[in-house]
Chains A and B, each alone.
Chain A
Amino acid sequence: MNDLRRYKPLLPVFAIYVILLIIGATTPGLWQPIMFIMFYIGIGVALNNFLGLTGYVDFGYVAFLAMGAYGMAVALNYFTELGVGAIALGFFLALLFSALLCIAVGGVALRLRGAYFAIATIGVNEGLRYLIEGARIWGGSEGIVLSGKLRKAFGPEFANYLSTFVADVSLIIVIFMASIITVYLINSKVGYALLALREDEDAAKVMGINVTKYKLIAFFTSAAIGSLIGASAWTLKLTYVFPEDVFFIHYTVEAIVIVMLGGAGTLLGPVIGGLIYGALKYYLSVILPGFQLLAFAPLLVIIVVAFPDGIVGYIRKKLRETSLFEYIR
């Protein structure tokens, strides 16, 4: 019964999700802020599957969300006659586009170490954006605007239902799935291989670990989750895709901050990180409009100095050898 025990760390994570969603659903006016926070939790959990588990920093991460957003937009724009099937096709294309980008980036860049990898990935994101704009792929810099088409194809009511209800629900499902995938990875041989290569890549190789293979597994997983988030939280919800929005490097930086803040490589870390970051960002922009970044920076510095292993890393250390330890990962 060892197997079930390993999934215990999901309890606090799911508890947080459920509590957030209940608050959002029952308190008038809080649903949108909660979904705003859920989005940040989502990109944290998604990036953590790569950054947290391998220790490699991918500055081009948002490109995978962009691929997902475009996958869904292409399906809804060019295959509207499929009806609801177009949404399923959209999720499929999201996964397909991000997987193709994974092969292109991962096969080459993942052979690079540490900082070299980070530098290589910055180029990918910007390069891809200018390719789409310059070569006028998928509408070029004008992007894809879906609202009119959706209303014509599905009727105004269903189109509205898509962007208000379906988009949120699919984001929530993706986030639940992403946490299950993380816990599965951590507990499997893949997780141990990633742990070893994160600590000492050369020693890991001598231990018999094919490091490139395991880095690719983490890269694909993380990209796939990211693309599903892009497809639901951006395309379905906003009903438009503009290259300068979806390739905005700011999102990558935010995701990195969330992972580091919560605790890289832990299951609960990006959830806590996303919760704090999302909530602070939202309320700071209400309380101190325009000053939220200024207020944020010192706060982040303090947290990173006080908790170098992230908040959850710190808690885990304190809980070692207590019965709560196995619930926090």
Chain B
Amino acid sequence: MALLKLEGVTKKFGGLVAVDHIDLEIDEGEAIGIVGPNGSGKTTLYNLISGVYLPDEGKIFFEGKDITMLPPYERTPLGLARTFQIPRPFGSASVRENVAIGAMFGRAKADVDEALNIADEYLKLVGIYDLKDKEAKLLTPLEKKLMELARALAMKPKLLLLDELMAGMNPNDINRIIELVKKIKDKENIAVVSMVEHLMHAITKFAERVIVMHQGKKLIEGPTMEVLNDPKVIEVYLGKKLKVKGE
């Protein structure tokens, strides 16, 4: 049984079909990349999976359970966690409290003391333990992203959705984060979906399977290298090869 299954999921905003009949299956412990240019419906897809939006058509199943109409706060405890493209820290809370909140209300369902311990553990893991007493709004953008990763991991999810986690990071940080996520994923058997717009080399290092989205539809899906070298994918990003007259 697939961990997450989408059947013909569609979301429209007025006349715009942001996500158009997407079918998708994700198994336990998989590492998946979702790529696509700006406006291809990636973030909307995340919002549909996490419950921020309800789909206009289609069904969503998590471990075989129909979660299509569940509000986000009932999906999360089942084992979903996500980060945001633009980090959304709870600004006036400390970094430690931010991560602890994840542990309290995610699948971990820890009580306050447990949650604070879990928070320390994951802050050490992502390497920002020194900042634990700082107000979250005072962090740098990179630190905020790491805090969001720690917060999502502290929820002990079965499925982790990363939204442009590595955008704006330098290559060293990207490599470190990829290694870190891989290590935790293997240790706790988490399925990780990583969404990127342009960081193809990061995806090649991380994902076993890639899904390319274009104008709300699934353009192609398959093993990472195969997909990224597909002419259709190159066309989506770079445009059609120009045919010069007389050639």
Contact = CB atoms under 8 A, between A and B. Distances in A.
Interface of A: 2, 187-189, 192-193, 195-196, 199-200, 202-211, 320-321
B222 to A, nearest CB: 30
B73 A210 contact: yes
Contacts of B155: 207-208
B61 interface: no
Interface stretch (B14-22, B85-93, B169-177, B186-194): B85-93
A108 B27 CA distance: 41
B105 A207 contact: yes
Interface in B83-126: 84, 88-93, 97, 100-102, 104-106, 111-113, 115
Nearest to B76: A208
B158 interface: no
A211 B74 CA distance: 11
Given A192-B115, A205-B73, A210-B71, 5 more contacts: A196-B101, A200-B88, A204-B90, A206-B76, A208-B73
A199 B74 CA distance: 20
17 contacts: A193-B101, A195-B101, A196-B90, A196-B101, A199-B89, A200-B90, A203-B84, A203-B90, A205-B51, A205-B73, A206-B52, A206-B73, A207-B76, A207-B102, A207-B105, A208-B105, A208-B155
B104 A206 contact: no
A210 B106 CA distance: 11
A189 B93 contact: no
A206 B97 contact: no
A177 B105 CA distance: 28
Contact of B92 (A193, A199, A206, A209): A199
Contacts of A187: 112
B52 A199 contact: no
A189 B111 contact: yes
With a 10 A CB-CB cut-off, give which of B77, B90, B93, B115 has the most chain A CB atoms: B90
A199 B133 contact: no
Contacts of A195: 90, 92-93, 97, 101
B8 interface: no
A320 B133 CA distance: 9
A205 to B, nearest CB: 5
Contact of A188 (B72, B77, B106, B112): B112
Nearest to B148: A203
B77 A206 contact: no
Nearest to B152: A207
B209 interface: no
A49 to B, nearest CB: 18
B133 A321 contact: yes
Given A189-B112, A195-B101, A206 B93 contact: no
B44 interface: no
Given A199-B93, A206-B72, A193 B105 contact: yes
